[in-house]
């Protein structure tokens, strides 16, 4: 990784997300949002990596990201998602779910909608409610799904004041993350190593399917679905393991890959190049997994010279992607481990890397060491 820029921002970063580029546009990512946690005052901030026209002549600050605007957020930002180009949904440790609206004209953020007690506990025998942290949120315009420590699943619509659907006691333990499988189905992971599929067409509070890790019930912290093959799902666990699941068959993961030394906080398939996967962890590392299937040209590159082959192989796999998409490189049954190349992206170990996001050739991640790292040449 040649060009990776770090900026210290005086707040611990819990989430980083690229603003989606308009469909069909040729633009590359240039704006991202971050959320902070564990500060006395937390913020949702928008940053730009675009050039402002006043770039220093010496080029020293060219790659650095600049703060566009920020807004105070009550409680830790537990999760953050772009709803559309202008709107950002933030999940709070106070159980509140907020939609922020970005006004590009005067570069400000404002609250456009808020569900204050989306997640809450009810104490034994008393009707009093105490707030429960909302741990995950996922958006699929116009729907917003949130999960929380209270084991509750909420389905919101951007234009509705009340939740459209709530599944109380959906999980007996804490739900850590949620993602859409295919509308109207969602996928949740919890703190006892289970992956549950929920179908909003069904009534009642039972999941339509439960998949789980065997044995030690290791908590799962993150989940992401393959962008093209909706049955392929990756999760990351407390022990730093990466699990790949095929939700069509079996109740156990297809493969378990030893990865980080501590909690894996996030896992993301590359949205347009899903043979590449990215993970980050409490142990302070950020990894790039390359599973582009064996192409003859690639093996010859292998012989020629070491590490660079990862990057060189990219263009080939990119073209090959179309006809290879039928057999996913992540599900192949032969011991695939030796075919996956792993690159560590951060120059040195730091405190926990809490979040990452990839879009096109750009990657952003945020750490507890109060730094935001950005690179614009992932596959250079």
Applying CB under 8 A, the residues found at the interface with other proteins are: 8-12, 37-40, 76, 78, 93, 121-124, 130, 132-133, 135, 149-151, 169, 171-174, 190-194, 196, 210, 212, 214-217, 238, 262-263, 282, 348-352, 368-371
Q: Indicate the residue among 123 and 204 with the shorter CB distance to other proteins.
A: 123
Q: In what order do the strands lie in the sheet with 371-375?
A: 5-8, 371-375, 362-367, 353-359
Least gap, CB of 66 to other proteins (angstroms): 13
Other C-beta atoms closer than 10 Å to the C-beta of 111 total: 13
Q: Indicate the residue among 24 and 125 with the shorter CB distance to other proteins.
A: 125
Two tokens, residue 318? 């990119």
Q: Is 80 exposed, middle or buried (0-12, 13-18, 19+ CB in 10 A)?
A: buried
Q: Indicate the residue among 259 and 359 with the shorter CB distance to other proteins.
A: 259
Q: Indicate the residue among 274 and 284 with the shorter CB distance to other proteins.
A: 284
Q: How does DSSP assign 303-371, residue by residue?
A: HH-TTTHHHHHHHHHHHHHHHHTTS-TTT-SS-GGGG-EEEE-SSS--S-EEEEEEETTEEEEEETTSE
Q: Indicate the residue among 116 and 299 with the shorter CB distance to other proteins.
A: 116
Contact status, residue 310 vs residue 301, Cβ threshold 8 Å: no
Least gap, CB of 329 to other proteins (angstroms): 31
Q: Indicate the residue among 10 and 249 with the shorter CB distance to other proteins.
A: 10
Least gap, CB of 1 to other proteins (angstroms): 17
* Distances in whole angstroms, Cα of residue 130 to Cα of each of 48, 78, 122, 340: 37, 17, 7, 46
Least gap, CB of 114 to other proteins (angstroms): 19
């Amino acid at each position: 990784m040649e060009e990776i820029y770090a900026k210290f921002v005086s707040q611990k970063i819990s989430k980083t997300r690229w603003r989606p580029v308009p469909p069909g546009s040729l633009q590359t990512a240039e704006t991202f949002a971050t959320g902070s946690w564990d500060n006395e005052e937390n913020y949702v901030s928008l940053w730009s990596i675009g050039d402002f026209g006043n770039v220093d002549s010496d080029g020293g600050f060219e790659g650095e990201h600049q703060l566009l605007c920020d807004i105070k957020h009550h409680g830790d930002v537990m999760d953050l998602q772009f709803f559309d180009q202008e709107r950002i949904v933030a999940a709070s440790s106070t159980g509140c779910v907020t939609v922020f609206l970005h006004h590009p004209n005067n570069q400000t953020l404002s609250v456009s909608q808020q569900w204050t007690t989306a997640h809450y506990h009810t104490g034994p025998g008393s009707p009093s409610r105490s707030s429960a942290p909302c741990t995950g949120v996922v958006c699929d315009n116009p729907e917003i799904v949130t999960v929380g420590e209270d084991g509750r699943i909420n389905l919101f619509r951007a234009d509705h004041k009340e939740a459209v659907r709530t599944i109380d006691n959906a999980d007996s333990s804490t739900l850590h993350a949620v993602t859409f499988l295919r509308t109207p189905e969602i996928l949740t992971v919890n703190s006892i190593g289970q992956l549950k599929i929920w179908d909003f067409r069904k009534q009642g509070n039972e999941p339509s399917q439960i998949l789980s890790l065997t044995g030690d019930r290791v908590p799962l912290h993150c989940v992401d679905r393959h962008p093209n093959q909706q049955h392929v799902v990756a999760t990351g666990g407390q022990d730093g393991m990466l699990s790949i699941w095929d939700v069509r068959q079996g109740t156990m993961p297809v493969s378990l890959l030893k990865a980080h030394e501590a909690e894996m906080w996030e896992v993301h398939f590359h949205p347009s190049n899903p043979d590449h996967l990215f993970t980050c962890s409490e142990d302070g590392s950020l990894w790039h997994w390359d599973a582009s299937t064996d192409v003859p040209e690639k093996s010859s590159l292998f012989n020629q010279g070491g590490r660079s082959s990862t990057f060189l192989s990219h263009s080939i796999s990119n073209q090959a992607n179309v006809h290879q998409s039928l057999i996913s490189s992540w599900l192949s049954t032969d011991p695939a481990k030796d075919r996956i190349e792993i690159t560590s992206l951060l120059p040195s170990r730091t405190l926990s890397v809490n979040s990452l996001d990839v879009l096109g050739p750009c990657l952003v991640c945020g750490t507890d060491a109060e730094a935001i790292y950005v690179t614009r040449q992932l596959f250079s």
